[in-house]
Amino acid sequence: MLDQPDDIHALFAGAPQTTEFKKLRKRLVRQTREAIEQYGMIEEGGKWLVCLSGGKDSYTLLAVLYELQWRGLLPVDILACNLDQGQPGFPATVLPAFLEQRGVPHRIEYQDTYSIVMDKIPAGRTFCSLCSRLRRGHLYRIAREEGCSAVVLGHHRDDILETFFMNLFHGGRLATMPPKLVNEEGDLFLYRPLAHVAEADCEKFARALDYPIIPCDLCGSQDGLQRQQVKQILDGWEANAPGRRQVMFRALMNARPSHLLDPNLFDFVGLMRESGKF
């Protein structure tokens, strides 16, 4: 890895020089590069709007993308973007100061979606769906204004697994967050380069570099969210059988339509045995 201080981007300032951290960093870079290549995210001369919430995942995403860019493995321009949604008590100066100090091109956008969510969602109901839609709409608009070809999010392997089980348990469908998607208008990609990365690794990385973590109090203030319930189930399985999350994630990459029940994915009606065989 990059051992000389002069070789390290400002996002890596103060990085531990331990073997453990270097292995972690190497793993994150490798897994992110694999996802970018596997799902065809590389676009020569493109420009990515990298969404920065102030959480551990988005900090990790930004740093790893800059390392890939430094290594010549990501030939795109990067513009970091934070959408300040008007949550009471949100530390609005933290991210601008962080990005300016580290020389990261960025855009900070203020849109009071918090008031809209609080007005529209009845007491006791979860905010996530409406909040996400409003946020996504603004991010797509900003990407267009900035001439970006893709909106890039920090969802990791565990987010993808949790979404799969939420759809399974509550939505009645086999679906999750795809690593690559085209928006409904068809003019922007949505990428999740951390698709192969474990949440625990994002946590270790962001803490090791002492990034100023900003919690999402809007979502975190709600007890009993479906996602938290699913996370607890997965945590229990992982505790009983270490490595279970990775096995389940590999299953999402190894679907067999002929062994499921969706006639839109596999032609069961047209399936015929060979003539003369019983």
How many Cβ atoms from other residues are within 10 Å of residue 116's Cβ?
Answer: 15
Task: Give the pLDDT band (50/70/90) at residue 2.
Answer: very low
Q: What CA–CA distance (Å, rounded) separates 92 from 211?
A: 15
Task: Give the pLDDT band (50/70/90) at residue 221.
Answer: very low
DSSP states of 190-239: EE-TTTT--HHHHHHHHHHTT------HHHHT-TT-HHHHHHHHHHHHHH
**Range in 88-92, 161-165, 181-185, 214-218 with the lowest mean pLDDT:** 214-218
Task: Give the pLDDT band (50/70/90) at residue 227.
Answer: confident
Residue at 74: amino acid letter = L
Chain-centre distance for alpha carbon 213: 16
Q: What CA–CA distance (Å, rounded) separates 16 from 205?
A: 10
The residues spanned by each domain of the chain are 5-254
Per-residue pLDDT tens for 60-76? 999 999 999 999 999 99
Q: What CATH number matches the domain at 5-254, 1.10.357.10, 3.40.50.720, 3.40.50.1950, 3.40.50.620? A: 3.40.50.620
Does residue 6 carry a pLDDT above 70?
no
Q: 3-state class of 48 per DSSP?
A: strand
